[in-house]
Structure 1
Amino acid sequence: MKIDIYDESDGSTPRPKENGCSLKPVSPDESGEGLPYAPVNWPNPGDTWRWKVGKRVSGAGHYLDRYLYLPKSLRNAGLTTRKKYGFASKLAVERYIQTAFPGANINEFFASFSWRIPAQKSSLANGTARLKHVPCIPPSEESDSQSDTVCCKAGNKMCNSLLEQSENPPLAVMECDICCTEPKFCRDCCCILCCKTINSSYGGYDYIRCEAMMDESCICGHAAHIDCALRCYMAGTVGGSIGLDSEYYCRRCDARTDLVSHVTRILHTCESLDSRDDIEKILNLGVCILRGSQKTSANEVLKRIEVAIAKLKCGTCLEDIWKEEDNISAISMDVSHHGNTALEVTTCQEPIGVRTSSEVMSTSFHYRTESQKLEVEIDQVLQALRKSQESEFRMAEDSLHAQKNYLCNLYQQLEKEKSDLVRCTSPDPDALLSTVLSRVKQIKGEVKKLKDMEEVANGFGKTSRAILKEHFSLEIEE
């Protein structure tokens, strides 16, 4: 495929050519079927593949995000277990072809259509304007390798998309038409919760990126500040319907990420720092993530962090803070007002009997952490109450519906018996009349029973024990 060089003298954008024919540039998010951007009649006649592009445009004028979709015949053939029948990278297509069609010629497959899709002039102009701060190398006629330099929509010069790619690039991220379509949101460097850029300093301790697999070659890729996730109850240990245990819950794909390994990594990061303030800030974040966890591994890491914080506050040398074999006799356990332990430094340079304000301030107590713990406790109590009430509700629901259905059947029988009485179809009219009167009496009794049962609307606790025992089979002890 031959790509024309840009003629910057008049600002025109020449179209790429393939086999002497111009390729039609497309607009962002455009899609289509067949040639020139997707195969046709492969592997069988009539099989037409679909294509789609994203929004990112390279410095060479083609789309960086392009997708290829299987034809219907291959979707129904059971040759793939993919939930989505699309491919976000050329490598993913190659893997699929090699797996599903071992004898196929990969080069001939890609030669049958154009993998690179040129952008329209307007899209290219906008992309070029946004790339002023990034050096752009013009493409060469002799080489098909073009510059994939991209811009950051959030204007972040340290965005991951602008950094030099490694030899083993990460998996492609999933196609996203929700948050990623926002004009100022960049998935590579923006928090999905606050939309502000993330900071990769100190190993990126203050954010988490969701790497949940969407399919065999695609991950979620969205990131969030740990602090934002904690404030939104989407990280740490959270009860209720989410039910997190030192985990992060991704708002975009609903996947959960274990945070114990993340805290372990940032703990190792702290060992190489020489700023006591930075170390304390990072360790406090680790405490917020792990506190309240039921996992053994999380509690072990939390103890290491709490010991390190205590040593740090006591003025221990930074090199000695990370020595786990030391016995910290200067640390005593103090129980907070709702039963959670906190570390307090009791021996520094002053005598034991002397209490200073610094000792009081050294107590490891954080408003946000304690508030979150209280919120979780209240939520757990309410959830338990709801479950207990739900069992009573289901019992009342079943009994009331059963009584209603029984009454409906009695009314239906009464209508039939009254109709027979009017038509005098029975040889013994007196017996039929007696049956009708008996049925009316029975219905009145069942209606009264239903009225008694409806007293549970005020709650089982305010309903008489006789009604609960007779109609709901509940015996309340004295």
Structure 2
Amino acid sequence: MELDNTKENKVSTPRRRENGLHLSPVLPDTSGLGLPYAPEDWPNKGDIWTWKVGRRVAITGHFLDRYLYPPKRLQKVLDSGRKRGLASKLSVERGSGFLCCPSDEKEVPVSAPQSDSLTCKAGNKTCNSLYAEAESPSLVSLPCDLCCSESRFCRDCCCILCSKTIDLKHGGYSYIKCEAVVDGYICGHVAHLNCALRSYMAGTVGGSFGLDAEYYCRRCDSKTSLIPHVTLLLKTCESIDSRDEIEKILNIGFCALRGSQNTNARGLLNRIESAIKELKYGTSLEDIWKAKESDSAITTGIFHIGNGGLEPTNHRDAVDNKPCLGSVLSISSDYHSEYLKIEDEINRVLQALRKAQETEYQIAEERLYGQKNYLRHLYQQLEKERSELHGQPSGNEADAYLNAVLNRVDQIKYEVMRLREMEEVANGFGRTPKSILKEYFGSDIED
């Protein structure tokens, strides 16, 4: 059983409420009927409600988890698909004045605080601290006299970088929580991933931080790997029907992992890049998440000559399907002449291949260097806009400069993603998707 205060108190006498009812302490996970902890004869005579308590106990000695269950007559009226119990907090406090249940295992002096409800400093009704059971009761939150000293800041739901509340939508993909243990305390501060990425405190960052697909907590200076978070993020996408939402989530995962030298991160990044491309090409969501099957076996009779060549699965069929050697050569044939013809044919093929490859190389070189120069121009613009922002006083004009910088950063991220797609020609034009060749290297190039 969880206690908000470890100090023991031997007071065990029943308490009296203003309505004259004696509140006898009860044990954890206890339930009962009617008074003093549930209504009787309400709203109609004969209606007796059921009460139940959980295991957590507040500093005042009252149970934090309290529930009311309506009588059978009212249960028939309620929707069968919804929970029939009224949880504690607002639903109970507004419904009646009952259910302030003292614990049999802990009593406190009368002078103790009278508020036994969990509250969020930021006033966030969806704060994790209001609903989640303590996962590690042995670990106490890290003392914080910086951000947590602010009256409206809650470490459980306020971003440590922008102070705005986090969003729990889609499993809370958009924020990261620092669960580092420092001197026996758990940090517990959260941050928007976008804020961390823009502040160079997440992703792959050089310099003093030295991050490789990691998140750096500004409060405790600990690093958290982003690979498990992005893995869960990718799994979350499979349960979402909105293509726009999926693309938004995948873009966050892409930004978190790009540039990483970690093998697992790079493999995960390839999956994300592939999913983003298929989304753009209009591939159905079912096909996007479907596991790719391994390449099928080479069909009978197909073979290649040379290193790494594949032999036919049936030698006899392969030979029978080819012209007989006797129909090409006869006893009177000049083998030297025939050999020279074959050699000449091979030379012509190799020359044509070299020419084709040189043409492809020239096209790739031109387009890749063009993209590089464009990115250099964008980086120069970003540097200029940053300098202008630093020289501006606070106000509407400063906000405009800040928006310009943020938009420029987003533009650079998009162009870098396009460059990554263009770089797939490293495998050869023949192995590059036709859609990429058409978009970046000219529509006249075929797969």
Higher relative contact order (CA closer than 8 Å, sequence separation 6+) = 1
TM-score category by the smaller chain? 0.3 to 0.5
- For normalisation by structure 2, the TM-score amounts to 0.46
